[in-house]
Amino acid sequence: MKTLLIIILFIVGGAGCSYAQQDPMVSQYMFNGLYLNPAYAGSHKYWTSTFSFRKQWVGFEGSPQTVIGAIDGPLAGQKMGLGLIYFNDQIGVTKQNSILANYAYRIRVSENGRLALGISAGISQFSAELTSLTIWDTDDQVFMNNVSSKILPRFGFGIYYTDKNWYAGFSIPTLIAYEKGRDFSLNLNKSSFLNRHYLLTGGYIFKVSENVKLKPSVLLKYLPHAPLQADINLGVLIKDMFWIGGSFRSGDAGVILLEYQSNNYFRIGYAYDLTFSELRRHSSGSHEIMIGIDFGKDMIKTKTPRYF
């Protein structure tokens, strides 16, 4: 099992680098847009926060475990938005701690249309506790130090457009990063061990009846020299309170999604993933819980349901 785990670490961390997966996987990103795109900051008329916990591949030793906390809200009459997001990601003996500040500037382009440009800046710490591994070659230089750690400043960029019933966004969560000892370069592969991911999102709200609405959405993830990955999602909103939906993640998993908005301030969500890969023989699936708390809605004269 330890041998298999080490192999996985090298696959997700990159050849020759035993650090945790660079971008933690979550299934409820549609309820926490700040995780994908800094331009999402302040997209609502009130401050909103989310906390989520994900346990991936339950029953599999050393499987990924992720904690994410985020808060964002508007400033200057919604022309600007600020946000802060923190995540802790663990896989096997590796850990990632990241904290990112987000800023968005919003432009009104039509009666209901808003275009936002966003940037993010922060730091990430990647570490590995090598003493937890079974070592066959005690003279291997890779394992000479008990703990391996790197701290990287990183910057991201995003564009996010919203209208009354639809949204679309494009983002590069890690546009620039710098690792000590490397050349500072706009070429991310020269300045760090990180890879640049390109994310494209979009969704639409269809009103079926007064009490039922449909929300199809998509997330496309592109990494150079890797296959394009797509998340196809469909959510059903009942009485503006209950979200029931599902996702298909190409080549990876199917997901069941649930969210309940108990009042104007509190939301809770749950996601269950069942992988299509060979890991399903060793795992009962992945579980993810999300809690959201919104602030300041009582200051809004006209309250509208939260669609995205």
pLDDT digits (tens, 9 = 90+) for 76-94: 888 999 999 999 999 888 8
| Across 110-130, average pLDDT | 91
Residue 34 burial (CB < 10 Å; 0-12/13-18/19+)?
buried
Report how far residue 126's alpha carbon sits from residue 146's, in angstroms, rounded to the nearest whole number: 14
pLDDT for position 6: 43
Phi then psi for residue 61, to 5 deg, are -60, 130
pLDDT digits (tens, 9 = 90+) for 21-36: 567 888 999 888 999 9
According to DSSP, the residues that pair with 158 across neighbouring strands are 118, 171
According to DSSP, the residues that pair with 115 across neighbouring strands are 107, 161
CB within 8 Å of 222: residues ≥ 6 apart: 197, 198, 199, 200, 228, 229
pLDDT for position 279: 67
pLDDT digits (tens, 9 = 90+) for 256-277: 999 998 877 899 999 999 888 7
pLDDT above 70 coverage of the chain, percent = 82
Could you tell me the pTM of the whole model? 0.85
pLDDT digits (tens, 9 = 90+) for 201-234: 999 999 999 999 999 999 999 988 788 999 999 9
pLDDT for position 252: 80
Phi then psi for residue 29, to 5 deg, are -65, -25
Report whether pLDDT(165) > 60: yes
Report whether pLDDT(64) > 70: yes
